[in-house]
Amino acid sequence: MKIIGIGNALTDLMTQIENDEVLNSLQLPKGSMQLVDAATSKRASEATRHFKRTLASGGSAANTIHGLSRLGIETGFIGKVGHDDLGDFFEKDMINSGIKTHLRHSETSSGLALALVSPDGERTFATYLGAACELEDTDIVEEVLKEYDILHIEGYLLQNYKLISHSIKTAKELGLRVSLDLASYNVVEQHRDFLNEMIDLYADIIFANEEESKALTGMEPEESARHLSKRVDIAAIKTGPGGSFVAMNGEITAVPTQKITPVDTTGAGDLYAAGFLYALSKGKNAYECGRTGSMIASEVITHIGAKIPGEKWDNLIRLSR
């Protein structure tokens, strides 16, 4: 099975903050993803430059595709970057991870996601999309999509109705299954009507955490999973340390997760989706899909950033079988 992702091609600047005062000073709600302009991005970066930082390619769908590639799945990614060092860094990192890149380029500078990691591991994003948000429906072509079996698309693209509707409609017409990660509760709230339309028309697989699912359905996790099971083939509602509820074949399965003190929750949902889709591609049942998703997510939160160190993957693959 081959899986392609479409999403914002961003480079993550991971910053460990000492307390949440900096979030208040920058007017960033804790745990949210806020879109900012270039000037605000620069101001936020400068205000936090004295903290410990790391640089890594990121973006929700790109993180999921990275995980799938590390698990041995053939993968591809479509996004847009600028003609600059950040764009080159992003592309090289994807290629080095075994991902087939279908990147488009823009004269605008590449996107940067400043990820502020609180002491409790919660992350808050100030995201300058830059070239990433210039990805257009015309950049998504049948010749690329037809090489794959599943399209995984991130909810952050809901900012562009034309792009997301064209992408998933084309994928469905080509026979691909459509996997949609809802991405952020504030994005869901802003685009609920359009999102509901896209889910009912095209989605096969839905990933959401409890805040996102409540923003979409107004329901608690298990009830939300049951509701979504009537609209899509598969729905996975993540509840952090509470595990997840997986709706598959009309049944709801509660999947526990191991208790871990997080270092950084960045990428937890993205890597859950990677583990889940990997298990699904191997024909696993709802419990095993949720278990594998939780296992991969539990590993990534013990590290700073949305990438699991290379030496950890062999054991994760063994445990996923």
pLDDT single digits (tens) 218-244: 999 999 999 999 999 999 999 988 999
Q: Is the pTM of this model over 0.85?
A: yes
Check if CATH label 3.40.1190.20 holds for domain 2-8+59-109+130-320. Answer: yes
Mean pLDDT across 55-78: 95
Mean pLDDT across 144-152: 98
In which band, very low, low, confident or very high, does the pLDDT at 317 lie, cut at 50, 70 and 90?
A: confident
Report which of 144, 139, 142, 173 is spatially closest to residue 157, judged by C-alpha positions: 139
In which band, very low, low, confident or very high, does the pLDDT at 280 lie, cut at 50, 70 and 90?
A: very high
pLDDT exceeds cutoff 90 at 266: no
Residue with tokens 């889910």: 199
Q: What is the pLDDT of residue 104?
A: 98
- Is 286 in contact with 251 (CB distance < 8 Å)? yes
Tell me the C-alpha distance between 116 and 266, whole Å: 10
In which band, very low, low, confident or very high, does the pLDDT at 161 lie, cut at 50, 70 and 90?
A: very high
Q: What is the pLDDT of residue 184?
A: 85
Tell me the C-alpha distance between 81 and 157, whole Å: 15
- Phi/psi for 103 (5° steps) reads -80, 140
pLDDT digits (tens, 9 = 90+) for 238-260: 998 899 999 999 899 999 998 88
Instruction: Give the three-state DSSP class for 297.
Output: helix
Q: What is the pLDDT of residue 55?
A: 84
